[in-house]
Amino acid sequence: MIRKGLKIQSDSDRHREHAWKTARTASHILRDRFGAFRVVVFGSLSRPPDFTQWSDIDLATCGISPDRFSRALAAVTGFSQEFEIDLTDVETCPPSLLKIVEKEGIDL
């Protein structure tokens, strides 16, 4: 029984690590192709106990011009088949969401 619990934990750790790798790759895309100067992970990925196999990846960005944001969104939401990626522009998001990003966000 203990071994099974360890395997589940290990699978969970691998899934979370893969999510972090996906988030870092998305960050590079947002910086290199769309001019983001800051990319932040927030939500369940920034809170390890809350991240599950059904979790998405929440990213907040600074510096992407409004006319390029929809293309940036399409670029990062389309490259991962395993994770849904939600992208937020901190310059236009509601203040309540900005508070969450500032409180729990982790810079990439």
Domains of the chain: which residue ranges?
A: 2-107
**Residue that has been written with the tokens 């991962």 in this structure:** 80
Provide the whole-model pTM.
0.87
Q: What is the strand order of the sheet 106-107 is part of?
A: 85-89, 57-62, 38-42, 106-107
Per-residue pLDDT of the chain (108 residues; tens, 9 = 90+): 445 555 555 788 888 999 999 999 999 999 999 999 999 999 999 998 889 889 999 999 999 999 999 999 999 988 888 899 999 999 999 999 999 999 999 999
Output the CA–CA distances (angstroms, integers) from residue 59 to 1, 4, 52, 54, 93, in the order listed: 37, 33, 17, 16, 12
pLDDT for res 81: 85
Domain 2-107 has CATH 3.30.460.10: yes
Strand-pairing partners, residue 88, are 60
DSSP secondary structure letter of residue 108 = -
